[in-house]
Amino acid sequence: MKFFLDTANLEQIQTAQLMGIIDGVTTNPSLMAKEGITGEDNIKTHYKKICEIVDGDVSAEVISTDFKGMIAEGEKLAALHKQIVVKIPVIADGIRAIKDLTSKGIRTNCTLIFNPGQALLAAKAGASYVSPFIGRLDDIGQDGMELIHQLVHILDTYGFETEIIAASIRNTNHILQCMEAGADVATCPLDAITGLLNHPLTDAGLEKFLADHRKLNG
Ligand code: E4P
């Protein structure tokens, strides 16, 4: 399973890249706003900076919600860097935009997926990725992981090439469950990924090794 970092924070992207643990980055307008990135030029520059740090796909989301607007924005975003994947919301104009952008060789990530039907339509339109949001389903008392299981089964059964990015990941347990379910990618906050390193026996073992070394070496 690939890991994407779900952030627009350059420092975190750099940290994860240096550790060699990420295969790409996803952003959204909320994540860009969190970093204080405003204005078309600054947003474009920021996407380029992300692409220069990370090896792999970088999802950049459109703001428009109408077909023409999404196409115009999507084409501009895709022209910024070859690693850019245009992120499009799963609405009717969005599905049409995915079809159009795909026919022009522009890769897309269909976002805000909350049920299998939405993912199926995005895949049929040619989306490179679909992004089901696990955490937000859990937040409203539904089972986000069940959606991942359904999508793995459906996309595999019908032979779609669309990859599943498990999104809205809240913790390391979500990541482990996504691996078991067969998601292609998990896009996560950095602390959820590095949380995979944590184990009390690792901490205790390391402490003991160092203490034994100090006993003889001062
Ligand atoms: C995915 O592409 C989204 O940016 C993200 O995973 C949403 O996560 P959230 O529900 O924590 O905002």
pLDDT in tens, 98-156: 999 999 999 999 999 999 999 999 999 999 999 999 999 999 999 999 999 999 999 99
Beta strands in the chain (DSSP E): 2-6, 24-26, 57-61, 84-89, 108-113, 129-132, 163-166, 185-188
Ligand 1 pocket test: which of 168, 188, 190, 191 has the largest number of ligand atoms within 8 Å of its C-beta?
168
- Residues classed as catalytic: 87
Q: Are 26 and 48 in contact (CB under 8 A)?
A: no
Q: Which residues pair with 26 in a beta bridge?
A: 6, 59
Tally of domains in the chain: 1
pLDDT higher than threshold 80 for residue 58: yes
Whole-angstrom distance, CA of residue 71 vs CA of residue 93: 10
Question: Could you tell me the CATH number of the domain that includes residue 157?
Answer: 3.20.20.70
Q: What is the CA radius of gyration of the chain?
A: 19
Task: Tell me the torsion sign for CA atoms 32, 34, 35, 40.
Answer: positive
Residue type, 113: I
**109 in contact with ligand 1, CB cutoff 6 A:** no
Over residues 64-82, the mean pLDDT reads 98
Backbone angles phi, psi at 59, to 5 degrees: -85, 125
Share above pLDDT 90 across residues of the chain, in percent, rounded to a whole number: 100
The domain of 13 spans 2-216
Burial of 38 (0-12, 13-18, 19+ CB in 10 A): exposed
User: What's the mean per-residue pLDDT of the chain?
Assistant: 97
Q: Give residues with Cβ within 8 angstroms of 32, minimum separation 6.
A: 8, 43, 46
Name the residue at shortest CA distance from atom 12 of ligand 1: 168
- What pLDDT score does 127 carry? 98
- State pTM to two decimals: 0.96
**128 in contact with ligand 1, CB cutoff 6 A:** no
Backbone angles phi, psi at 182, to 5 degrees: 95, 25
Name the residue at shortest CA distance from atom 1 of ligand 1: 167
The pLDDT-based confidence of 218 (bands split at 50, 70, 90) is confident
User: For 165-185, what is each residue's pLDDT tens digit?
Assistant: 999 999 999 999 999 999 999
User: What separation in Å is there between the alpha carbon of 171 and the centre of ligand 1?
Assistant: 12
Share above pLDDT 70 across residues of the chain, in percent, rounded to a whole number: 100
**6 in contact with ligand 1, CB cutoff 6 A:** yes
